[in-house]
Structure 1
Amino acid sequence: MVEVTRLSGSTVVLNADLIEKIEATPDTVVTLTTGACFVVRESVAQVINAVIDYKARVFKSPVRGEAHPSLTVLPGVES
């Protein structure tokens, strides 16, 4: 989930997996795959970085900071 700020100052949390595109028009417009659009204060780069940070947290092991075990290639299995 990615928290962004609407132009009105209110915050909204978006599902990062549903982001279809991010445009600078010059305001930043985030469009979801559902068709919903959000005009936000953050720049395109800030939204992209927030998505990257979120996904990095999701795919890290909470114990050792390594890749999540379900994403590890097993010995003897080629990718």
Structure 2
Amino acid sequence: MIALTSVSGEAFFLNCDLIYRIDEAYDTIITLSDGQHIRVSEPATKIVEKIVDYKRKIYLALPEVGK
């Protein structure tokens, strides 16, 4: 889950595995895999950074295989 802010200023968490695409226009628009659209105040590059950081934390926490 990543923390985001809606254009109305409301903070929320989003399951980043549900993201289909991210578009930047006046606002940043996240399209989910079910077709739902969410407008957020964070730029697309910041959202991608948050996703990478989140995934990195998950994969680094996995135990090594074969030991």
Per the normalisation by structure 1, the TM-score is 0.76
User: Superposition RMSD on alpha carbons, in Å?
Assistant: 1.5
Q: Which runs of 5+ in 1 are unaligned?
A: 62-67
| Partner Cα distance (2:24, 2:12) in 1 | 18
Tell me the CA shift for residue 69 of structure 1: 2.3
Q: Deviations over 1:22-74 (max 9, x none)?
A: 0001210011101111100000000000000110111112xxxxxx226x4x4
Report percent identity of matched pairs.
Answer: 31
Greater strand proportion: 2
Following superposition, which runs of at least 4 residues in structure 1 exceed 2 angstroms of deviation? Answer: none
Tell me the CA shift for residue 3 of structure 1: 1.0
* More contact order relative to length (CA 8 Å, sep ≥ 6): 2
Number of aligned pairs? 67
Which residue in 2 is equivalent to 1:69? 63
Per the normalisation by structure 2, the TM-score is 0.88
Tell which structure's C-alpha radius of gyration is larger: 1
